[in-house]
Structure 1
């Protein structure tokens, strides 16, 4: 079951990271310029963000295993459609559909882990889930580069069929839990407002981040962001009055749930920049090839594989607070190491060293954070609890990515890279401080 849950999430995270390296090849083959390339990535992020809250409620309502199986089949089908897309328009449409399937995968897989495991075993299982799904995000560009060079960009979408098929085989060996209780009807007005609000906010952030090649004027993009925030406020009002709320407000009365999501906002906001800017700096300033730049992240990947489950297990025994406090601070030290590249001596080595330290901090942070947030959620609502946390993480990453042009000063250069490193470090320090002040060890699930 754990392997199936990991593979189901692995599919979604891999697709989010592996596609970037194929964008130049897609542009040369299908045309459409930078706008098409952006929307191949952003179309997936748009529907993923818009439907992730609804997907958590659907998973809790109709059964996690059933929803996971449907999502895997849908993801495989849309992957084939992406690989066969004859035009840029068809590819973007397929990516929009793929994002809906991806939204169903992560909350359902985490909810399944929460429902099946408990205590230290749950923390260790979440650590394993964190380590291997992080591998997909970090290792994806390397695999993507090799596939594009050897087989072409269409192979990037085909490769995801392998873990999807493996997950389906494993899920076929897991029996549905007849004791999982339905959580009531899904409030459709709340669901519509959540999807519309997150969708408008995502499009606005994408367009603001698009800068010179955005489809919409900057004023229209800002208006979309404002409209998204207004609609989300309407969602909160509607959901608070609903008989069967999409996101039960009582979840936020749990200290670890509220503090954990606030820490997620700062930590994943920092990671949005930390995963983007070094790769750009290595390629555009230090002139490394794409595959070589991606290989710089390999030591961090290895650390995540080796240590995530260990820190998850330690968190289960000792409590998450110390790890959620120390982990972001270690990450911040790694980001500050990037400032030394301005000295002009072995900058590639310094970027790699900083990335290793960031990887160590991530291994300390992510599994305990996930355990703290979901450990405060009733088992029957683990799907929506996971969806809320994932929505916070996605939006945080979108916000900082959208602000990357402003932080970098419009171009990737040494000064912009150093400013980004400072912003990353500051956000991580705030995330650690929030965890120290807000998280409590030993908080029981409601």
Structure 2
């Protein structure tokens, strides 16, 4: 086992730096690309369907392989798997930047997602497992703060690159981040994994096939692939019941609160991902913002989140998880309703800012009780798996709702999003507000109101849900 280090030491600083850099690479690849969608479409002559695959290709492989990657990290060690994931992402990022056509870009994004799946469970787990026990909560707090700062400013920086250079530079930004992370990681001690190798190949393949089928069908508006994908996911459940060491341990789903909070997570974070995408498209294609301006539009949301989230943790300890989480989710629904009315000719202060502030307030209230609720719904021995499942639920929700965006906008045979946004943006945002209300209802009805101390600060506001490692 790796010798544990103090947070306030050279080794502790290096550990935080490496994990923050790795997390930033994952965020850049998953969400910063939103601001580059119009530029990619114009540069490569990509249609709406191809642009959707550029976004969802990465998210599909991350969500499908996340639990399998966690098992690999447990066996081979967090540092080794993290390095392997970063190397895959390095090669894929260069391929994305050099892509001559949409097909190559989509293929490279799928490979990027496979690397991202290795990075996601390993980076934070490495931090948690390598710090002294008394430093872990503070270390994860530093990681969360720095990561949130990066996710807040990242879309603006990416948009600036699109406006002043090329969308290709958004992928090349990964190169120095990955090289710096690898340089720091190389100097950290390695430790073998603590568990025997248990690779559920059948489960991983069914997850990839199932999720890909559903996303392909939704993206192309074809129902046969959706049905085949759902059949593969049903087969996944059957297989996981029979496998000796399953990728997804179904016994955890015997807890009704656990089921409810994961369903609410998928709906809530799915709506957030799709709404973020729609707002960025609206800013660029209808409100006349540049890529940098659209990337900066939701910065106030993250600022409010950072202020409110610590207060919400204290509130959970006083009154429990149910009502702060339900109230926060409803505030986000109100934010979507406000943003649905944004139209050309309005100022930023009228069209976007009030909705962004409400959005941040709602997230700040909801994320801490969500994290605490997941961990309170299972026994202590299951905390790691429970948080991984909740993280995967948020990512699956994100990729499915983003895939639904063309359907919500009624894109049909349109070559780009401009005309569909003009016609259907408001109804699409109101649908997402309805999805968010459904998450709030699930929370209010099925999530028990337990008083829980939030041991670790939650990760960044817009990317994923409960990714809290335990030991």
Total equivalences in the alignment: 433
User: Residues of 2 paired with 1:41 and 1:395: CA distance?
Assistant: 13
Counting helix residues as a fraction of each chain, which structure ranks higher? Answer: 1
Contact 1:197 1:229 in 2 (8 A): yes
User: Residues of 2 paired with 1:118 and 1:255: CA distance?
Assistant: 35
User: Residues of 1 paired with 2:218 and 2:140: CA distance?
Assistant: 30
Contact 2:18 2:182 in 1 (8 A): yes
- Per-residue CA deviation, residues 277-313 of structure 1 (Å, 9 max, x unaligned), is 2223333333333332332212123234444456457
Contact 1:114 1:374 in 2 (8 A): no
Structure number with higher relative contact order (C-alpha < 8 Å, ≥ 6 residues apart) = 1
Residue 206 in structure 1 maps to residue 219 in structure 2: yes
Q: 2:203 aligns with which of 171, 190, 199?
A: 190
Give the corresponding residue for 1:432.
440
* Greater displacement, 263-272 / 427-436: 427-436
User: Residues of 2 paired with 1:338 and 1:29: CA distance?
Assistant: 29
Cα shift at 1:239? 0.7
In structure 2, the CA distance between the partners of 1:385 and 1:166, relative to structure 1 (3 Å rule), is farther
User: Residues of 1 paired with 2:165 and 2:346: CA distance?
Assistant: 37
Contact 2:159 2:290 in 1 (8 A): no
Cα shift at 1:72? 1.5
Residue 75 in structure 1 maps to residue 89 in structure 2: yes
Contact 1:183 1:381 in 2 (8 A): no
In structure 2, the CA distance between the partners of 1:332 and 1:183, relative to structure 1 (3 Å rule), is farther
Cα shift at 1:405? 3.7
Contact 2:73 2:81 in 1 (8 A): yes
For residue 19 of structure 1, give the secondary structure of its aligned residue in structure 2.
helix
Give the corresponding residue for 1:84.
98
Contact 2:219 2:404 in 1 (8 A): no
Cα shift at 1:204? 2.3
- Per-residue CA deviation, residues 203-244 of structure 1 (Å, 9 max, x unaligned), is 223323xxxxxxxxx3xxx11111111111111111111111
Contact 1:264 1:393 in 2 (8 A): yes
Give the corresponding residue for 1:236.
237
TM-score, normalised relative to structure 1: 0.82
Residue 297 in structure 1 maps to residue 302 in structure 2: no
- Per-residue CA deviation, residues 153-197 of structure 1 (Å, 9 max, x unaligned), is 32111112333334334444554456x631552232222222222
Give the corresponding residue for 1:261.
262
Contact 1:409 1:416 in 2 (8 A): yes
Cα shift at 1:8? 2.0
In structure 2, the CA distance between the partners of 1:266 and 1:132, relative to structure 1 (3 Å rule), is farther
Task: Trace 1:17-56 onto structure 2 (pairs within 5 A).
Answer: 17-31=31-45, 33-34=47-48, 36-56=50-70
For residue 31 of structure 2, give the secondary structure of its aligned residue in structure 1.
helix
* Greater displacement, 419-428 / 8-17: 419-428
- Per-residue CA deviation, residues 326-358 of structure 1 (Å, 9 max, x unaligned), is 321221232233355479864752322101210
Two-structure CA RMSD over aligned residues (Å):
3.7
Contact 2:162 2:292 in 1 (8 A): no
TM-score, normalised relative to structure 2: 0.78
Residue 155 in structure 1 maps to residue 169 in structure 2: yes
- Per-residue CA deviation, residues 83-114 of structure 1 (Å, 9 max, x unaligned), is 23455443333222111001122223344466
Give the corresponding residue for 2:425.
417
Give the corresponding residue for 2:325.
324
Gaps of 5+ in 1: 209-217
Gaps of 5+ in 2: 1-14, 412-418, 454-469
In structure 2, the CA distance between the partners of 1:32 and 1:138, relative to structure 1 (3 Å rule), is same
- Per-residue CA deviation, residues 384-437 of structure 1 (Å, 9 max, x unaligned), is 544432332223223333333443454545673332343233322332332333
Task: Trace 1:275-314 onto structure 2 (pairs within 5 A).
Answer: 275-308=276-309, 311-312=312-313
User: Residues of 2 paired with 1:23 and 1:336: CA distance?
Assistant: 24
Contact 1:270 1:423 in 2 (8 A): no
User: Residues of 2 paired with 1:116 and 1:347: CA distance?
Assistant: 45
Contact 2:199 2:247 in 1 (8 A): yes
Give the corresponding residue for 1:359.
360
